[in-house]
Structure 1
Amino acid sequence: MTRSRVQGEDTNGGATAAPEREEAVRGDGDNGVNDIKGGIKGDTGSETESKTEAEAEGDTERAPEGPRPRRRRRVLRWTAVVLAVVLAGTAGAGYLYYEHLNDNIKQDTLNLGDSKVAAPTPNAAGQTPLNILVIGSDARDSKENQQLGGARETFGSTPLADVQMLVHLSADRSNMSVVSMPRDTLLEIPRCTDPEDGEVYPASEGRVMANQSLGHGGPGCAVATWQELTGIHIDHFVMVDFAGVVSMADAVGGVPVCVDANIHSRDASGHGSGLKLAKGTHPVKGEQALQWLRTRYGFEDGSDLARAKAQHMYLNSMVRVLRENATLSSPNKLRRLAEEATAALTVDPGLDSVKKLYDLSDELREVKPERITMTTMPNRYVGARVEPTEDAEQLFRLVREDIALDGRDKKKPDAEPQPPADPAAPDAELAVQVRNGTHTDESGTAPGRASTIAGLLVERGFTKAVADPSVLPSEKRTVIRYPSADLEGDARRVAKALGIPASSVKRSTDVSGVTLVVGADWREGTAYKAPGSDDRTPESAEALNGADDSACMHVNPGFTWS
């Protein structure tokens, strides 16, 4: 009785305050009252029954009425003592179990990088979006993880962030967007400091694979890397390892996935996850669920991009299972899920308790599956690796500006920018560096654009404007960047002089002064015409709707069986 109640209590967020705990205990006590009263009624009932039989046989004598109330009082006093013990025991068990679940949860620092990204501005209702980085670690640091991960040569090695997904919950909580980054993405990892021993991991020399960020001090470096790349403020992270994926899949009773042909993910050299499924839809759990999430060999072209699609399908299905599977109303199921989930997770301090995790899940659960959009960061191949494309920046912008990826947002009025902290300097004293970012895959770089626009600024009184002769990677839209609040007024003044919208003025630690980057939208002429706002999700993001249960992974013919 006590255990059942405690399970229910903890799956509802645990005993977070004394009044709530007392209320939950009273509920348990009520059940205890009924059980105990039932037992007492059974005893007295049998006595009454025998008296009735005696009366039927003609024995109508009864004991005097006087002593009976005294006996009832003794029974009630005994019942009250028993209830007091039951209630005290329940309260203690509930508290101890709640603390046990809290102790299961591991935590780490949220952000190990030096630069920070400002939190988004609240909307008219005072609401802000929520961004959570979900990390799947390939750590072989325990017996369970070694058994599931294989590759003995990697036991005890630096863990890699082989799964990275940014979950964006809109400010009004009406929709959710998920952006996956392929683990093979080439990017720069910023300088990170391990909070435990103070070890400083210098910024990467050039671009390296994204999954290496986890080994630079922990998940907080993966957060810093995402923020540097996307400009998106990240509020929390959640990290899970091999064993955690298996145990959580078991706890929900399996997740349905689909393949369009028989598959066995194993090549002649023994590479592959080992996944073996027949054509069609099957619930996977345990080690098979982990195999599904890790499979590259056998899905489509065998790349990490195909694996990301399979992971999206799995997550979509898990959301539906959690919503639709009535067996999860079972206290035992919920208790097991709570136990396995808390033991599997490493989180930042903002999510370090059952109550905080429950509150977060409650917010996520409010979003209907049809308003969930799964995407993969648009990318192109660089040898065997990939890099973000111009479409990736478009996707990141939509997330930064809290624009739903399913295209079902109501049109939001343009927000009036707040006045800068410091006014602009006189035009003639305002230093501006102009750079050429006009490169596109189709047309290359428009030559001389930095010099042309710097000359235009000089003509308009900005005599300290200079052109940088170097050529930048592509900048889809013209942008003006400034490094600190005291130069915001200067940056806005330059934008106004050239007719560049205030939304294209950005603060950035990548520049040392006011810097105008001429983008691919201004390849010719001296009059800037801002392109129309395109808030569509790029097709290259391969969006998958959360309510789509018809998706099926294509099996590479080289990995099928009959």
Structure 2
Amino acid sequence: MSLAPKADQATPADLGGRHGGGGRRGGRGTDSRRRRRRVLRWSATVLAVVILGTAGAGYLYYQHLNGNLKKDDLNIGDAKDRAAKTEANAAGQTPLNILLIGSDARDSKENQKLGGARETFGAAPLADVQMLLHVSADRTNMSVVSMPRDTLVDIPKCTDPDSGEVHEALDRVMTNRSLGRGGPGCAVATWEKLTDIHIDHFMMIDFSGVVSMADAIGGVPVCVDKNIESRDSKGHGSGLKLEKGTTYVKGKQALQWLRTRYGFEDGSDLARAKAQHMYMNSMVRQLRENATLSNPGKLRSLAESATNALTVDPGLGTVAKLYDLAGELKKVPTSRITMTTMPNEYDTIQTGRVVPTDDATKLFRLVREDIALDGKDKKKTTEEKASTDPAAADGEIAVQVQNGTRTDILGPVSGRATTVAGLLADKGFTQAVADGSAAPATETTLVRYPSADLQGDAERVAKALGIPTSAVKKSTDVSGVTLVVGADWREGTAYKAPKQDDKTPKTADALNASDTKACMKVDPDFTW
């Protein structure tokens, strides 16, 4: 009986040599470099999924690895509340958005031993690590945005895909609670609600998964500027104990590093996020530079550890799909990977909790619009290709005007939709009418249209008001040409497009993955 995989399944050759070739045309040195490039892959998470593609030892083993993977629904919020998919660029490429989740579940003896807190055994898990990984459409850069677990967010209604239990929406609760409300799909729904960024996939790992992956990798270098012991007089802390300088951490020690708050900087969750970024960056460099990963035994160990550690959505539910994802991720140079933390400030009501700031809104927009956070994007034209379908006469174009002038701190301008509809009527658009219903807050003024046959009409409306073509957007949320007056046009009769600031906010605390000098500052009260 043949063990050859079916057409949609990866073969051992696919898993081990899809990019390397089998010839020796370049000589031994070239072959060596090819082998090294082939195995040095990464997934930008603590999971090191990237090396899965080289670990297969045959079809049966491939099926075994597939069986290791755990799968869960991608988004379990209401379908109508999903963020719109990102449109392709001029080359037909689309970005990738992947939510990375670290679960604190005490659902096994091993996780209980590693996580402590015996009273929480079997309780609803918390998403104590949440990072949104964004890979640009052209695969030239990658951005990661961490959300502190202490962030207060609105969690949407989520339905458990297994039990059917409906978890009603919650307002202003800690973001890490989303995981326990039906699974990782609720965390995805929460992120989409907050950021309006469409999330394509998720990857989740628990305590024991972090330990096994760190062991399989062989250690990740981390740095502290003083000796540290993360333990206070009351026993609080991760237990991490390191000497000043660089140490290769693995196993339980790697988990301690990723969980440490007490002893790093101000002891906040923000400091912990910074330490996690340093770990991930070091892991990326380790996997891309360490030629010893060509060892078949180590690769097999990594494959076993990664597939056993992961819970993913069905879109990443096979080794072949993970391998394809790794192929996309490895296209991004290390020097174009940027780690950030969601800009935040302390809440004025709940002590010790944080809320997103205006800078966070800006950061989410940059990700949503596929703008590199390292500031190295080549200048892009934002003008969309004009419609070839001629517009109708101005007086025949039906336009609905909505008032989206509300902001986080200002209410909507009363009567603004009526005023702008009047401006259009004065210009000959006699079928322009104001929509009196409440409209979602919109940062910039937009003209939306539902189908290609109305694009020309929408562009004509925009031109008449001086609105740039880049603000004319196709949208299935409207039934006809719709002008949404944004917060950038709260007054006046002449629209002036605001200058776009696409610089990453300093409050995002950006860290480049190629920075080898990064070192965590230790609180003197936790040194030895």
Q: TM-score, normalising length from structure 1?
A: 0.75
What does residue 434 of structure 1 align with? Answer: 403
1:463-497 Cα offsets, whole Å, 9 max, x none, are 74367899x98x6x334487977998798777555
Q: Which amino acid aligns with 1:16?
A: A
CA distance in 1, matches of 2:200, 2:447: 24
Alpha-carbon contact 1:15-1:98 (below 8 Å) kept:
no
Classify 1:483/1:222 alpha carbon distance in 2 versus 1 (closer, same or farther; 3 Å): farther
- Corresponding residue to 1:534 among 495, 501, 504: 501
Matched, 1:171 2:155: no
1:311-368 Cα offsets, whole Å, 9 max, x none, are 0000000001111112211111111111111100001111112222122223212222
What does residue 178 of structure 2 align with? Answer: 213
Where do 5+ consecutive residues of structure 2 fail to align? 22-55, 426-430
What does residue 76 of structure 1 align with? Answer: none
What does residue 193 of structure 1 align with? Answer: 159
What does residue 249 of structure 2 align with? Answer: 284
What does residue 101 of structure 1 align with? Answer: 65
Amino-acid identity (%):
64
Classify 1:241/1:511 alpha carbon distance in 2 versus 1 (closer, same or farther; 3 Å): farther
The SS at the match of 1:256 is strand
Alpha-carbon contact 2:12-2:59 (below 8 Å) kept:
no
- TM-superposed CA distance for 1:166, in Å, is 1.1
1:441-467 Cα offsets, whole Å, 9 max, x none, are xxxx4x883435643433543774367
Alpha-carbon contact 1:420-1:488 (below 8 Å) kept:
no
- TM-superposed CA distance for 1:262, in Å, is 1.9
Classify 1:498/1:378 alpha carbon distance in 2 versus 1 (closer, same or farther; 3 Å): farther
- For residues 405-484 of structure 1, the aligned pairs below 5 Å read 405-416=373-384, 430-438=399-407, 445=410, 449-451=413-415, 454-461=418-425, 464-465=433-434, 477-480=443-446
Classify 1:369/1:19 alpha carbon distance in 2 versus 1 (closer, same or farther; 3 Å): closer
- For residues 16-27 of structure 1, the aligned pairs below 5 Å read 16-17=10-11
Classify 1:430/1:125 alpha carbon distance in 2 versus 1 (closer, same or farther; 3 Å): closer
Where do 5+ consecutive residues of structure 1 fail to align? 1-5, 28-91
What does residue 355 of structure 2 align with? Answer: 387
Classify 1:313/1:453 alpha carbon distance in 2 versus 1 (closer, same or farther; 3 Å): same
1:490-529 Cα offsets, whole Å, 9 max, x none, are 987775554334544668899999684542x445533221
- Corresponding residue to 1:397 among 337, 346, 365: 365
Matched, 1:307 2:301: no
CA distance in 2, matches of 1:547, 1:485: 44
Matched, 1:552 2:519: yes
- Corresponding residue to 1:354 among 319, 328, 353: 319
Q: Which amino acid aligns with 1:437?
A: R
Alpha-carbon contact 1:438-1:522 (below 8 Å) kept:
no
Classify 1:390/1:495 alpha carbon distance in 2 versus 1 (closer, same or farther; 3 Å): farther
- Corresponding residue to 2:258 among 293, 314, 319: 293
Q: Which amino acid aligns with 1:335?
A: R
CA distance in 1, matches of 2:208, 2:321: 23
Q: Which amino acid aligns with 2:64?
A: H
The SS at the match of 2:300 is helix
Alpha-carbon contact 2:239-2:256 (below 8 Å) kept:
yes
Matched, 1:132 2:98: yes
Alpha-carbon contact 1:403-1:535 (below 8 Å) kept:
yes
Please identify, of 154-163 and 347-356, the stretch whose mean Cα deviation from structure 2 is larger.
347-356
Alpha-carbon contact 1:435-1:516 (below 8 Å) kept:
yes
Q: Which protein has the bigger helix share?
A: 1
The SS at the match of 1:449 is coil
**Runs of at least 4 residues off by over 6 Å:** 18-24, 423-429, 466-470, 481-494, 506-513
CA distance in 1, matches of 2:263, 2:254: 15
What does residue 42 of structure 2 align with? Answer: none
1:95-129 Cα offsets, whole Å, 9 max, x none, are 32222111111111112122333332222332221
What count of residue pairs does the alignment treat as equivalent?
Answer: 475
CA distance in 1, matches of 2:233, 2:356: 33
- For residues 47-126 of structure 1, the aligned pairs below 5 Å read 94-113=58-77, 114=79, 115-126=81-92
Alpha-carbon contact 1:522-1:528 (below 8 Å) kept:
yes
CA distance in 1, matches of 2:342, 2:336: 19
CA distance in 2, matches of 1:183, 1:229: 14
Larger Rg: 1
- TM-superposed CA distance for 1:22, in Å, is 13
Classify 1:269/1:427 alpha carbon distance in 2 versus 1 (closer, same or farther; 3 Å): farther
CA distance in 1, matches of 2:188, 2:388: 29
CA distance in 1, matches of 2:285, 2:15: 31
Alpha-carbon contact 1:262-1:276 (below 8 Å) kept:
yes
- For residues 516-535 of structure 1, the aligned pairs below 5 Å read 516=484, 518-519=486-487, 521-522=488-489, 524-535=491-502
Please identify, of 453-462 and 300-309, the stretch whose mean Cα deviation from structure 2 is larger.
453-462
CA distance in 2, matches of 1:368, 1:295: 29
What does residue 80 of structure 1 align with? Answer: none
1:237-260 Cα offsets, whole Å, 9 max, x none, are 111100001111111111111111
- TM-superposed CA distance for 1:189, in Å, is 1.6
The SS at the match of 1:299 is coil
- TM-superposed CA distance for 1:284, in Å, is 0.9
Alpha-carbon contact 2:192-2:199 (below 8 Å) kept:
yes
What does residue 213 of structure 2 align with? Answer: 248
What does residue 189 of structure 2 align with? Answer: 224
CA distance in 2, matches of 1:451, 1:418: 32
Q: TM-score, normalising length from structure 2?
A: 0.80
CA distance in 2, matches of 1:526, 1:20: 61
The SS at the match of 1:227 is helix
Classify 1:518/1:368 alpha carbon distance in 2 versus 1 (closer, same or farther; 3 Å): closer
Classify 1:493/1:293 alpha carbon distance in 2 versus 1 (closer, same or farther; 3 Å): farther
CA distance in 2, matches of 1:270, 1:19: 52
Alpha-carbon contact 2:447-2:483 (below 8 Å) kept:
yes
